[in-house]
Structure 1
Amino acid sequence: MPSKFPEVQGGGSLIIAWQVQQKNVLVVGGGEVAAGRILHALNADAKVTVVCPASGLNDEVAFRVSQSQVTHIDRNFEPADLEGADMVLCAIDDPEASTSVWKLCKERRIPANIADVPPECDFYFGSVHRDGPLQVMVSTNGNGPKLASIVRKKIADTLPDNMGAAIENVGKLRKKLRDVAPSPQEGPKRMKWMSGVCESWRLEDLVHMNERDMAGLLTHYESGRIPTLGEVRTSLLALP
């Protein structure tokens, strides 16, 4: 008898959006791979510390050090560097030293990623498409980073222009809706109404929706009706 529930597909990763804002991320190494890891962490508003001799910093990492975007410790890694770290990203060309970092992180229960060594990773970095608040990540679970990049580019090519701007406006509308209907009991209705707006409005309308449009649209929340952008603006013109 066929099941009505989704089939379990083992062997995957738990894909989540990890919030590291103002968290302490330690990056061991200063080469090209480390540069990419650092950028990911900075994009997530983390506080980044890089431990690596100055002679080992590539141009990008050296630039971020010079601009005070990261804190730099000018020497090789020492166990004491783990003090206060919320996450460790190791990207050095020394397998023995990398494994040592991994074991220390395991002892201290600090989530870590050891570049190019999948068995020594609590999490993987995927290939990411970014458009404002929109982030689309493709992961191959450590099997094929280049293939992840190819798949990510194909997905990005199918996305409409201005998707990020539309998402930003939807986020603003959601916040305003919570002010209009803050009660937890309103939660299901808020979700249903917002879903209706996203499904019935064109992407172009969401992109061009302004603060006045949002205010006009929200007057229809209580009734549950979802007018078009044209209807919202027509009703606003009729106001004194």
Structure 2
Amino acid sequence: MKSDFPEIQGGGSLILAWQIRNKRVLVIGGGEVAAGRIVKVLNADAKCVVVAPRSGLNDEVAYRVDQKQVEHVDRNFEPSDLDGADMVMCAIDDPEASTQVWKLCKEKRIAANIADVPPECDFYFGSEHRDGPLQIMVSTNGNGPRLANFVRRRIAATLPYNIGTAIQRVGMLRKKLRKVAPNIEEGPKRMAWMIKVSDKWTLEDLCEMTDEDMDGLLGFYKPNTVPSLDEVRLAQPDGAFDGPFLI
């Protein structure tokens, strides 16, 4: 029987934007894979702790340590290192030791990723495209990381060069809008109005939009209209919007 609802495709992962700001993330290992993990952790504004002998650090990890971007424990992993950890990433060339880390994490209910061992992972890393606030991840659920890179490059090649800047500007406008209309009941109207702005204005318009343009545009929120960028600027005599609608 045909259904109008989406077909279920098992075998996938729940892809989320996991907020780990200020969380304590333990990275075990100091090689190339660990270096990549560290960059991802620091980009997410988490507190990164690296456990590995100094002699085993590659140049990049050693740099992070020397710059005090990470906390360094100069020795091999010990079970007590898991105390206080919110997440664990293990990247060492020792399958038995890695499996032991996995088992300990399971006992303590700590989310863990054991590099190159999909069955011993609570989460996977995908191939990521980053442009300011924009993050796009392609995952093959551990089946083909190299293919994920290929797909990610193809997607990135189709994006406008200024998409990251446009998103930043939209984020700034949304923050200003919440100050203009802070009440909870305004939520649906705020969302609908922002959709109108995003649909009417081009990426170039959004990138070019200044703080003064934002303030002028917000003057059209209460009457629930969306002028063009040119119309917003025409309503700003001498570069200052007189705000006839902000009443």
What whole-Å deviation, never above 9, does each CA across 1:143-202 have from its counterpart, x for those lacking one?
A: 011100111011111000111110000000001111111111111111111011111100
3-state secondary structure, aligned to 2:235? helix
Q: Distance in 1 between matches of 2:182 and 2:5?
A: 34
- Asked if 1:38 is matched to 2:48, the reply is no
- Asked if 1:70 is matched to 2:52, the reply is no
3-state secondary structure, aligned to 2:16? coil
Relative to the length of structure 1, the TM-score reads 0.98
RMSD: 1.0
1:237 equivalent in structure 2: 237
Alignment of 1:1-240 (within 5 A): 1-237=1-237
Q: Distance in 2 between matches of 1:10 and 1:186?
A: 39
What is the CA distance between 1:2 and its match in structure 2? 2.8
Q: Distance in 2 between matches of 1:125 and 1:112?
A: 11
Q: Distance in 1 between matches of 2:63 and 2:45?
A: 18
3-state secondary structure, aligned to 1:215? helix
3-state secondary structure, aligned to 1:168? helix
Relative to the length of structure 2, the TM-score reads 0.95
3-state secondary structure, aligned to 1:227? coil
> Aligned in 2, Cα 1:223/1:2: closer, same or farther, shift over 3 Å?
farther
Q: Distance in 2 between matches of 1:181 and 1:4?
A: 38
Aligned residues: 240
What is the percentage of aligned positions where both structures have the same residue? 69
Q: Which amino acid counterpart does residue 158 of structure 1 have in structure 2?
A: T
Question: Segments of 4+ in structure 1 off by > 3 A?
Answer: none
Q: Distance in 1 between matches of 2:201 and 2:48?
A: 40
Q: Distance in 2 between matches of 1:220 and 1:8?
A: 43
Q: Distance in 2 between matches of 1:184 and 1:147?
A: 44
What whole-Å deviation, never above 9, does each CA across 1:87-119 have from its counterpart, x for those lacking one?
A: 000000000000000000000000000000000
